[in-house]
Amino acid sequence: MLNHRTEIVTTVSVLGLMMVATGCKVSGEAAAANRTIIKETIGTAAADNLTIQGERVLTRLGYTIYRRENQEVIYIETDWSNRLPNDGEQELGIAEVRTKIILRGRPYMRGEYTVSDPLYTVYFEGFTEYRLPDTPTWITMDLNEEATAYVKGVAYELKTEIAGRFLR
């Protein structure tokens, strides 16, 4: 019985250390500080503006559209796009970095609009993964300032083109 209990405590300790080492968060304030995914509200846009301008901007920035759905909720997902590790990532020994973008347009219910031109509130999510040298597995960890700025820059470009056109 003592050996079984010792094994359980050792296993839990090792898992906890692995979570800390890879940047996994457990709960509470740690979960709130998790910066592995950047989420932004882009603004309000018509369906055509969201799909046409959103895909145009993502393509211009080097992303390939992987999946799209245009039903009640508009969904645009890119394939993973590789980029060079920034200075801080290189210092950590990161060999490869990749980012994926998801745009979601949910029906905007304020005011009246015609059925032919519905409005959507547009949400952005940017996911980043890392790979260490000679390792086949991609991992997630908190983004450094440069990586955060890169993903937020993609969100800003989308906000300018999608929501900015609606306001003109």
Backbone angles phi, psi at 58, to 5 degrees: -60, -40
What pLDDT score was predicted for residue 34?
Answer: 52
Give the ranges where 33-144 is alpha helix by DSSP (H).
47-60, 87-91
What pLDDT score was predicted for residue 112?
Answer: 58
Contact between residue 39 and residue 124 where contact means Cβ atoms under 8 Å apart = yes
Q: Measure the CA–CA gap between 81 and 4, rounded to whole angstroms.
A: 46
Give me the residue spans of the domains in the chain.
Answer: 25-167
Cross-strand bridge partners of residue 83? 97
Please tell me the pTM assigned to this model: 0.74
Contact between residue 79 and residue 98 where contact means Cβ atoms under 8 Å apart = no
Q: Measure the CA–CA gap between 6 and 4, rounded to whole angstroms.
A: 5
Instruction: Report the chain's terminal Cα–Cα distance, integer Å.
Output: 72
Across 2-63, the runs of DSSP E, i.e. the strands, are: 37-46
What pLDDT score was predicted for residue 110?
Answer: 57
Backbone angles phi, psi at 15, to 5 degrees: -60, -40
Q: Residue 148 has which token pair?
A: 């955060």
Dihedral sign (CA 157, 131, 37, 23): negative
What pLDDT score was predicted for residue 10?
Answer: 36
CATH architecture observed for domain 25-167: 2-Layer Sandwich (3.30)
Q: Measure the CA–CA gap between 159 and 98, rounded to whole angstroms.
A: 22
Backbone angles phi, psi at 44, to 5 degrees: -110, 140
67, exposed or middle or buried, with CB in 10 Å at 0-12, 13-18, 19+?
exposed
Q: What is the pLDDT along the chain (168 residues), one digit of tens a residue?
A: 444 444 433 333 333 334 444 444 333 333 344 578 999 999 999 888 899 999 999 999 999 999 999 888 999 999 999 999 999 999 999 999 999 999 999 997 755 555 566 789 999 999 999 999 999 999 999 999 999 999 999 999 999 998 776 544
